[in-house]
Amino acid sequence: MALRRSPLDAAHRDLGAKMVAFGGWEMPVAYPSGTLVEHRTCRNGAVAFDVSHLGTVRVSGFGSFDRLQRTLTNDLGKITPGRAQYTHLLDEADGSVVDDLIVWWVALDDFHVMPNASNTERVLEALGGEDVTASRAIIALQGPDARRWLADIVPEAASVKRFGVKPFSWKGVMCLAAGTGYTGEEGVEIAVPAKAAPAFWEGVLDAGFLPAGLGARDTLRLEAGLPLHGHELGPGITPLQAGLGWVVAWNKGEFRGRAALENERRRGVDRELRGLTVDGRQPPRAGYPVMAGPELVGEVTSGNFSPTLGHGIALAFLPPHAREGQEVTIDARGQSLPARIVPTPFVRPNRSH
């Protein structure tokens, strides 16, 4: 099957981006500036990511609220129109995470549900609604300077609150801004109609934003300790194992996968997601075994070199009794990497600007 392309595909190629396949899309992994520069600019200035590969499933009309409440784990009753919420879609049988997603509550009976790229069809099947992914681009503006620089282009979008959702007009085109992101830094994500997206992207870069690819997005989210579907979330992995029990609203009534998840809560999880640091620049990689002495105790789910910290970091599922500060060893294809269990996030956002 042919890979899908973003409305900004031509712009990325003109900028010399290295394009890779990701979740059924061809997307920029890095620009000539390189992942390290893009990462550090997000931590200290602001960057622009094209995240149009994320899905948008529009659920609207009478009964939309109740449909989402019955299907997703979090409680939309905690928020109101004009807000966004992180939530999970669970497997009915075992309570594992089919997808983690953001819901943009745009208006009274109008919700934009944002799945991961490869899960849009699964979410559409569970929720109904309309797949409007092809109608728009999503541009994520992230970093401590993001709102200030965005204000030079469209002040209305820059003023959206954290986890707020706000429609705005740009050059006569209606767009949506949300105070969300996946980097651990302050930022805004903007849905722009596909035809207007290249011009908006050009305006963003003219305002000073550095284009950044999926490589930097991944190292940023890892430093922030944020889960990635297919690594820290997915088949066989529940919200409780991933340390995301706060996403589950036990007091709202029935939702898909509730019974299986209640069983796990009652008996207790047999593994928990934890952070690991290693000395030196060698990055731990997903799939590497984690050892406590001679005993295999877990497996790395995501790992990389941390540009901010200057050494390797990783997320791994470990036994519940594993404690912070405990020394373990990562088996890097026969080479032993000494590691230590640490709290996450590994890096906290830069609020100094």
Reported as a single tens digit per residue, the pLDDT across 262-299 is 999 999 999 999 999 999 999 999 999 999 999 999 99
pLDDT at 287: 97
**Cα-based distances in Å from 57 to 112, 129, 267:** 6, 6, 35
Are the C-beta atoms of 287 and 277 separated by less than 8 Å? Answer: no
- How far apart are alpha carbons 265 and 252 in whole angstroms? 16
The CATH superfamily assigned to 4-55+133-223 is: Probable tRNA modification gtpase trme; domain 1 (3.30.1360.120)
* % pLDDT > 90, the chain: 97
Return residue ranges of the chain for CATH 3.30.1360.120.
Answer: 4-55+133-223
**Cα-based distances in Å from 2 to 26, 29, 51, 179, 288:** 9, 18, 19, 33, 32
Does residue 353 surpass a pLDDT of 60? no
pLDDT tier at 351, thresholds 50, 70, 90: low
Provide the b/e sequence for 58-93 (b: ≥16 CB within 10 Å). Answer: bbeeeebbebbbebbbbbbeebeebbbbbbbbbbee
Q: What is the mean pLDDT of residues 202-219?
A: 98
Q: Which 8-state DSSP code applies to residue 280?
A: S
pLDDT at 350: 72
Does residue 325 surpass a pLDDT of 50? yes
**Cα-based distances in Å from 178 to 4, 68, 148, 279, 324:** 24, 19, 15, 38, 35
pLDDT at 352: 44
CATH of 57-129, one of 3.30.70.1400, 3.40.640.10, 3.40.1010.20, 1.10.530.10: 3.30.70.1400
- How far apart are alpha carbons 284 and 288 in whole angstroms? 7
If you search the block for the tokens 């990497």, which residue do you land on? 337
DSSP 13-55: HHTTPEEEEETTEEEEEE-TT-HHHHHHHHHHS-EEEE-TTS-
Does residue 211 surpass a pLDDT of 60? yes
At 301 the three-state DSSP class reads strand
Q: What are phi and psi of 340, to 5 degrees?
A: -135, 140
Does residue 20 surpass a pLDDT of 80? yes
* % pLDDT > 70, the chain: 99
Return residue ranges of the chain for CATH 3.30.70.1400.
Answer: 57-129
State the average pLDDT for the chain. Answer: 97
Does residue 232 surpass a pLDDT of 50? yes
**Cα-based distances in Å from 72 to 109, 206, 236:** 16, 39, 17
If you search the block for the tokens 């928990």, which residue do you land on? 272
Q: What is the mean pLDDT of residues 243-256?
A: 97
- How far apart are alpha carbons 283 and 58 in whole angstroms? 39
